[in-house]
Amino acid sequence: MQKYNRVLVKLSGEALAGDKQRGFDHEVITRVVGELKQLVQNGIEVCVVIGGGNFWRGRTSGDMDRTKADQIGMLATIMNAIYVADVCRSEGIESVVQTPFAVGNMTELFSKDSALLHMKQGRIVFFAGGTGHPYFSTDTGAALKGCEVEVGALLFAKNIDGVYDSDPKLNPEAKKYERLSCQEMLAKNLKAIDAAAATLCIDQKLPVIVFDLDTPGGILKAAAGEPIGTTIYV
């Protein structure tokens, strides 16, 4: 039994890079695509947002003009989506990449209607290019697109296995939440998802499940509503 009919899976760029931290870890990506394919075969409509952190992050680009740095970040998310969409092709699952701005003939322009139709026809839709605006993140892009195409949940696959009350890398006593309200996450400044994304989730009552991309079957479990990671509810 599936809990959700349509989900948005957010993959952080860093998680796609595996242990290498930059670029692509093909093995990790092939496994992830296998899980996305399984979701589609289980009758779930799937869309995906991928970050850009394995190539570039606007907010850590030093003295560079922020708008320009963020433009590079948005382009990095498109490179990631084109790569993972091509892995979908080689694994036998159809997909399409949509962006909020024209990228010539490399992507389709985002349209809610066409995204819904693609998903209904069993294709995975990659929403690349974030929101199309600087000063935002792919978390916010994911929340925005999740609201627009009316998914049941956002599944955030990260390189950490949930939301903790403090950084587990710095504090061995850090406690992981199984469930946490979005309001509490904001009040405690836990930053599991950024504030702009959280505001949209609260407004639209959209739950977010944060879990570790490294857990085999993690995406399937999260989509099935089985216990995994941390559920951020509203």
Q: Which of 17, 47, 58, 177 binds ligand UDP (CB under 6 A)?
A: 58
Instruction: Judge whether 172 is annotated as a binding position.
Output: no
- Indicate which single residue of 34, 122, 134, 225 sits in contact with ligand UDP (rule: CB under 6 A): 134
Binding status of residue 138 toward ligand UDP by CB under 6 A: yes
Q: Which of 18, 53, 162, 229 binds ligand UDP (CB under 6 A)?
A: 53
Q: According to the 3-state scheme, what is the secondary structure of the chain? A: CCCCCEEEEEECHHHHCHHHCCCCCHHHHHHHHHHHHHHHHCCCEEEEEECCCCCCCHHHCCCCCHHHHHHHHHHHHHHHHHHHHHHHHHCCCCEEEEECCCECECCEECCHHHHHHHHHCCCEEEECCCCCCCCCCHHHHHHHHHHHCCCCEEEEEECCCCEECCCCCCCCCCCEECEEEHHHHHHCCCCCCCHHHHHHHHHHCCCEEEEECCCCCHHHHHHHCCCCCEEEEC
Residue 218 engages ligand UDP in binding (rule: CB under 6 A): no
Q: Which of 44, 46, 73, 88 binds ligand UDP (CB under 6 A)?
A: 73
User: 155, 8 in Cβ contact below 8 A?
Assistant: yes
- Among the candidate windows 26-34, 68-76, 159-167, 174-182, which touches ligand UDP by CB under 6 A? 68-76
- State the minimum distance, in angstroms, from the CB of residue 121 to ligand UDP: 27
Q: Is 131 assigned a ligand-binding role in the annotation?
A: yes
Question: Pairing relation of β-strands 163-164 and 108-109?
Answer: unpaired
Rule CB under 6 A: is residue 59 a binding residue for ligand UDP? yes
Q: Please identify which residue in 13, 152, 218, 229 interacts with ligand UDP, judged by CB under 6 A.
A: 13
136 belongs to an annotated ligand binding site? yes
Closest distance of CB 42 from ligand UDP, Å: 26
If one asks whether residue 99 binds ligand UDP (CB under 6 A), the answer comes out as no
233 is in an annotated binding site: no
Cβ distance to ligand UDP smaller for residue 77 or 231 = 77
Task: Tell me whether residue 57 or residue 123 sits nearer to ligand UDP (CB atom).
Answer: 57
Q: Are strands 153-158 and 176-177 parallel, antiparallel or unpaired?
A: unpaired
Residue 232 Cβ vs ligand UDP, minimum distance, rounded to whole Å: 16
d(CA 136, CA 139): 8
Check the annotation: does 26 bind a ligand.
no
Binding site for ligand UDP (CB under 6 A): 12-14, 51-53, 57-59, 69-70, 73-74, 76-77, 130-131, 133-134, 136-141
